[in-house]
Amino acid sequence: MASKAGRKDTSHSERPARLIDVAHRAEVSRATAARALGGYGLVGDETRERVLTAARELNYSTNVVARAMRAGKTQAIGVVVADISNSFFSHATRAIIDTAARAGYETFVLNTDDDLAKEVDAVRILIEKRVDGLIVVPSSPTQYDHFVLEGELAKPLVLLDRRVEGLRVPTACTDDRGGAKQAIELFLEHGHVHIGLLVATAAARGGVETRQPEGVVSTVTDRVAGAQEAMAGRGIGEPAIRYSRSSVEAAQAGALELLTQKPRATAILATNEEMALGVLAACSELGLTIGKDVSLVSFDDTPWSKVIAPSMSVVKRPVYELGHAAATALIKAIRGEGRSRKIELPTQLIDRRSVANVLKRRR
């Protein structure tokens, strides 16, 4: 094959130099060349110099595939997320890639779209690729057969953002229950009684659902539980919940329901960016004003949330730290330095201007 069009080809040898080529040129054995290049074992100073020079001259690039084969380690990990173009996953993945790279691991990224079949495939592919470990955002709260592998095929595994029932592997997640609880308590403090939840979940079939779909992930159940816990025992009933896919359109439909039903919700907790935007869209459609007619808190601190008018109160999750924690746990497991159990990072309520006080308006 000719060299790439337009790229200079100063090459003499068409094929990449191998260790043996370096060894020949330095007039040593493969073993010695390997030692000099790898910086281990005993090598004479002058010999080492010759080898290094030869390697440079031949433009030698270690074939890590061969090394991986020999060593049984690829220095690669796999990340399996629902969708890398989603802001939460892309930030968490960024942290994972950074952390892994600093420890000498490169990162494969695979998407599942929260589809269990794709997740099963992704895990199989990564196992075939002989990655040294996996970080997975599981799409099902209960299915884990595909993680249960035998012998050395069972690579270290860390779950991200969601727990899987019955699977005892290290899991890095945030305190979603506490986060939701705090948000609802903020509403309650401001006198809200009719509170709605807009919940994004891939488990929602088509439109907007009132009942919790089968197979929602732990993040969803935790947040719902946190909201319910905050409202419990106050004689104000349960929150009104709408489940839908994570899209602005679906969220808008859900928000419309919450804002037109009787009694109408005066405060809404959105579980992510898309749901929050759905509320904004619904309010503009109904001529309602955020922070006045409708109070809003959303999970995840997006860049736009503090800039829009009024700025939006949010439950911020430490996304980078979450990815970092997962990667750190994985690398420790790969190195056999003890296995972490559950890592739960705290959320932070950032109160801006999207929650109205309905107390002083009474009577």
Task: Considering the complex, state which of residue 167 and residue 225 has its C-beta at the smaller distance from a second copy.
Answer: 167
Task: Decide if residue 4 touches a second copy (CB under 8 A).
Answer: yes
Ordered alpha helix ranges (H), 195-237: 218-231
User: In a 3-state reduction of DSSP, which class is residue 7?
Assistant: coil
**Paired strand residues for 294:** 290
**Cβ of residue 92: shortest distance to a second copy, in angstroms?**
9
> What is the C-alpha separation between 279 and 200, in angstroms, rounded?
13
The footprint of a second copy on residues 299-358 (CB under 8 A) is 302-304, 307-309, 336, 339
Query: Which partner, DNA, a second copy, none, binds residue 97 by CB below 5 to 8 Å per kind?
Result: a second copy
Burial class of 310 by CB neighbour count within 10 A (0 to 12, 13 to 18, 19+): middle
- Contact with DNA (CB under 7 A): which of 24, 52, 62, 358? 62
Closest by CA position to 161, among listed 190, 198, 135? 135
What CA–CA distance (Å, rounded) separates 308 from 305? 6
Any contact of residue 230 with a second copy (CB under 8 A)?
A: no
Give yes or no for residue 16 binding a second copy (CB under 8 A). yes
Closest approach, Cβ 15 to DNA, in A, equals 6
Is residue 30 at the binding interface for DNA, with CB under 7 A as the rule? yes
Q: How far is the CB of 184 from a second copy (least distance, A)?
A: 24
Site residue total, DNA (CB under 7 A): 31
CA angle 278, 284, 289 (to 5 degrees): 105
Residue 106 touches which of a second copy, DNA, none (CB < 5 to 8 A by kind)?
A: a second copy
Is 67 one of the binding residues for DNA (CB under 7 A)? yes
Cα 96 to Cα 75: distance, rounded to the nearest angstrom: 14
Q: Which is nearer to a second copy, 112 or 221 (CB)?
A: 112
Q: One-letter amino acid identity for 307?
A: V
State yes or no: residue 228 binds a second copy (CB under 8 A): no
Among 47, 75, 86, 212, binds DNA (CB under 7 A): 47
Question: 274: which 2 tokens?
Answer: 């898309």
Which residues, numbered 50-79, are part of the site for a second copy (CB under 8 A)?
A: 59, 61-66, 68-69, 74, 76
Q: What is the distance between the alpha carbons of residues 216 and 87, in angstroms, rounded to a whole number?
A: 20
* Residue 71 near DNA by CB under 7 A: yes
Q: What is the spatial distance between Cα 177 and Cα 167, in angstroms, rounded to a whole number?
A: 20
DSSP helix/strand/coil, 236? coil
Interface ranges with DNA (CB under 7 A): 15-16, 18-20, 27-32, 34-35, 37-38, 40-44, 46-48, 62-63, 66-67, 69-72
